[in-house]
Structure 1
Amino acid sequence: MNPQSASIPASDAAQDAPLARRATRVDFQTEDDKDMLRAARDLTKDLGEAKPGIYWPDMLISAGIGYGGIATAILTDNIAIAIAAGIAASLALYRALMFIHELTHIRSDALPGFRLGWNLIVGIPMLTPSFMYEGVHVIHHKRTQYGTIEDPEYLPLALMKPWSLPVFVLVALLAPLALIVRFGILVPLGLFIPPVRNFVWQRFSALSINPDFRRKAPTGKLIKRVRWQEAAASIWAIAVLLSPLVFDWRPLLTALAIFSVTAVLNQLRTLVAHLWENEGEPMTVTAQFLDSVNVPPPGRIAEVWAPVGLRYHALHHLMPSMPYHDLPEAHRRLKSELGDQSTYDGANHAGMFPLVGRIARSTMIR
């Protein structure tokens, strides 16, 4: 069944954009708003340089707080302190983990050593090395593949059954265990059983939500990255599996619980990153933008559940290579130039709960 949609012609965008984001579905063939696209280009020409002085401290401090929180939760005998430390660790590690998104868009020479440093400090310890996103996420940004069956990061969640939303979120609780199995058991098996290796690569080597997505073999520079990152993550996963033989079960179970909370938080953020109203049709750039979500200030809580620029996800789809630290200024300029009733304003939403409500209501009217 095709989704019902309301047409939002470019000439009427200023009048209808607020309605588009609050009540009606996006017209997938909405004519591109050339004024908005031109403004996005012209108003941000002086932005776009990734700054090591922001990236490195942000990532290192987040990771440090996260690992410190895990250690505190493991070592303390006070339940309240353990819970508080675990929550702090989950939030901090979530922020540190989200730099994987930046790694897929910044130029390889923009931040010397950052990809390696992030993988050693965050990606491999959390069993999410950058190869699981590199070469995958860029498909989500391709003009002709966004929202289609070829998009690894798109599901028409707003068009599915109501029970699919809680299942989509809660299945993330199993993500840490699944990653341990992938790297600690299946990767070693794949060294001796090629069909296992091929199956794992195609089905379990991408941070995707589309169950029909099959990953193609790596090419170019990614081949070398995959080899060393997968080997390092496999060694770490095996060490984690064997750790109860040296320690007791508490460190492992505590870390798994904290990582599960991080995974669920990321899944909640994913749930409201788009409106999920496309059932596989190609979309115009403006339609893709309106199907994506900004949760800009004045609210501050979005910086917790959508960190490292992800609260400006719709804007990111207009300017994928813009560093996260420049997105707030880019948003301010576009909002000021285009106004409250513009097409640009059509992708700005109030927060997580209104978005979840919109998607939930949509699943109930199918």
Structure 2
Amino acid sequence: MAQPMTTTLTFDAPAAGAEAPAPRRRVADDTALLKAAAELTRELSAANPRIYWADFLTSAVIGYAALIATILAGSLGWALAFAAVSVLALYRAESFIHELTHMKHSTLPGFRAAWNALIGVPMLVPSFMYEGVHNLHHAKTRYGTSDDPEYLPLALMKPWTLPAFILIAALAPVGLIIRYAVLAPLSLLSPKLREAVVARYSGLVINPEFRRRPAEGEAKALWTKLEVAASVWAIALVMLVATGVLPLRAFLIMMGIASAVAVLNQVRTLVAHLWENEGEAMTVTAQYLDSVNVPPPTLLPGLWAPVGLRYHALHHLLPSVPYHNLGIAHRRLSAVLDPASPYFKANYKGLPGLMGKIARSSMTRGVRR
């Protein structure tokens, strides 16, 4: 799951006289890996409604209960403790937007509506901001190219872009309120502004060059309903604060928790891939190797990469497998594949090592650009 809106990061042109980087060797598809992934996971594509509903509803209830507890806490210590619980729970609940883009909605009737009602609209990230966008990231001919809305060669860019990439996410809640409380209503009066809002400010993307096309048919109807709901909520929120009905302190706590959720997701996004592709089309195996798994026995990835996101590389091999079956798929493949298989080269131990790897690449390769 990428971040709201678009970043202001841009590609750095090579310095005059700088040595051009050596071309990367094209990675051929590993037929044994692709065959094993397909054959060993055929029956794992069915989603379990009980797991989805229980996990999502529990996360949402805990997240909002902890948010209220943070606002009502009588001491800073308790407030920070409740805030941490709220951030992690709401982050997990919000991460189900990734599942919405891959699931067959007929198998989980009402789930998308419930997610939007409890998380999408209140958090100002309705599902249309990801549906119709994230699927482009999985297109074989788009991944890692300039047409991929969720890709930037961060490991090859200037070192300062990495902290900027994370810190800019802290402003996401403010940007979303502006997008829905101000730009959406104004865009009804200006076709030109509406075109810009749809193309540039209606997707959870990180590629600043990406421009979204207008939705059509049923997707357009759903978009309209959700955008109206999000705009009404954003305007109401601003009015409640302006009139004093919602205390400023409570509003700032809400914004702080939403900001922390966005930053946590941006950190997770930073280590979801190695970000080493410079725009050329990649084979499926190359896409897998440019992506990241953080499998057990480490436990912390379950918090910062929830709802199956710890198996992000495997997800690129098996995008139709629901999150609760990715662990099973990982164990099956690990048990049968040769130790020299590329499959194991996408497995990493944890967040610090991944961030260090990307930072080192930026320091050594990005500074030459």
- Give the TM-score normalised by the residue count of structure 2: 0.92
Contact residue 105 and residue 111 of structure 2 kept, 8 A: no
> Is 2:39 the partner of 1:31?
no
> Is 2:269 the partner of 1:270?
yes
Q: Which amino acid aligns with 1:256?
A: M
Task: Measure the CA separation in 1 of the matches of 2:320 and 2:22.
Answer: 33
Task: Measure the CA separation in 1 of the matches of 2:247 and 2:340.
Answer: 59
Task: Measure the CA separation in 2 of the matches of 1:343 and 1:166.
Answer: 30
> Is 2:328 the partner of 1:341?
no
Contact residue 73 and residue 83 of structure 1 kept, 8 A: yes
Matching residue of 1:197: 194
Matching residue of 1:304: 303
Deviation at 1:185, TM superposition (A): 0.7
Matching residue of 2:58: 61
Q: Which amino acid aligns with 2:137?
A: H
Contact residue 293 and residue 313 of structure 2 kept, 8 A: yes
Task: Measure the CA separation in 1 of the matches of 2:57 and 2:359.
Answer: 37
Contact residue 123 and residue 129 of structure 1 kept, 8 A: yes
Matching residue of 2:351: 352
Correspondence for 1:89 among 67, 86, 93: 86
Deviation at 1:339, TM superposition (A): 3.8
Deviation per CA, 1:54-84: give whole Å up to 9, x if none: 0001000101111011101111221111111
> Is 2:107 the partner of 1:110?
yes
Q: Which amino acid aligns with 2:262?
A: A
Matching residue of 1:364: 363
Deviation at 1:340, TM superposition (A): 3.3
What secondary structure is seen at the aligned counterpart in 2 of 1:365?
A: helix
Deviation at 1:3, TM superposition (A): 4.9
Task: Measure the CA separation in 2 of the matches of 1:345 and 1:62.
Answer: 31
Q: How many residues align?
A: 345
What secondary structure is seen at the aligned counterpart in 1 of 2:140?
A: coil
Superposed counterparts of 1:176-191, under 5 Å: 176-191=173-188
Question: Where in structure 1 are there 5+ consecutive unaligned residues?
Answer: 7-26
Matching residue of 1:250: 249
Task: Measure the CA separation in 2 of the matches of 1:229 and 1:69.
Answer: 26
Deviation per CA, 1:194-222: give whole Å up to 9, x if none: 21111111111000000000000102321
Deviation per CA, 1:164-206: give whole Å up to 9, x if none: 0000000000001100110011101111122111111111100
Task: Measure the CA separation in 1 of the matches of 2:181 and 2:84.
Answer: 26
Correspondence for 2:225 among 206, 223, 228: 228
Matching residue of 2:161: 164
Q: Which amino acid aligns with 2:42?
A: K
Deviation at 1:263, TM superposition (A): 0.4
Matching residue of 1:80: 77
Deviation at 1:364, TM superposition (A): 1.1
How large is the RMSD of aligned CA atoms in angstroms? 1.1
Task: Measure the CA separation in 2 of the matches of 1:166 and 1:5.
Answer: 27
What secondary structure is seen at the aligned counterpart in 1 of 2:43?
A: coil
> Is 2:68 the partner of 1:71?
yes
Matching residue of 2:330: 331
Contact residue 3 and residue 278 of structure 1 kept, 8 A: no
Deviation per CA, 1:84-111: give whole Å up to 9, x if none: 1111100000000000000000112121
Percent identity between the aligned chains? 55
Task: Measure the CA separation in 1 of the matches of 2:23 and 2:95.
Answer: 33
Deviation at 1:348, TM superposition (A): 0.6
Task: Measure the CA separation in 2 of the matches of 1:205 and 1:45.
Answer: 34
Contact residue 273 and residue 292 of structure 1 kept, 8 A: yes
Superposed counterparts of 1:10-29, under 5 Å: 27=25, 29=26
Contact residue 290 and residue 346 of structure 2 kept, 8 A: yes
Deviation per CA, 1:250-271: give whole Å up to 9, x if none: 1110000001110000000000
Task: Measure the CA separation in 1 of the matches of 2:187 and 2:97.
Answer: 25
Question: Where in structure 2 are there 5+ consecutive unaligned residues?
Answer: 1-13, 15-19
Matching residue of 1:23: none
Deviation at 1:134, TM superposition (A): 0.3
Matching residue of 1:12: none
What secondary structure is seen at the aligned counterpart in 1 of 2:209?
A: coil
Contact residue 137 and residue 152 of structure 1 kept, 8 A: yes
Matching residue of 2:6: none
What secondary structure is seen at the aligned counterpart in 1 of 2:93?
A: helix
Task: Measure the CA separation in 1 of the matches of 2:112 and 2:254.
Answer: 24
Task: Measure the CA separation in 1 of the matches of 2:151 and 2:43.
Answer: 32
Task: Measure the CA separation in 2 of the matches of 1:192 and 1:31.
Answer: 51
Deviation at 1:133, TM superposition (A): 0.2
> Is 2:116 the partner of 1:119?
yes
Contact residue 339 and residue 345 of structure 1 kept, 8 A: no
Contact residue 67 and residue 83 of structure 2 kept, 8 A: yes
Contact residue 3 and residue 279 of structure 1 kept, 8 A: no
Matching residue of 1:9: none
Task: Measure the CA separation in 2 of the matches of 1:339 and 1:271.
Answer: 29
Correspondence for 2:151 among 151, 154, 161: 154
- Give the TM-score normalised by the residue count of structure 1: 0.92
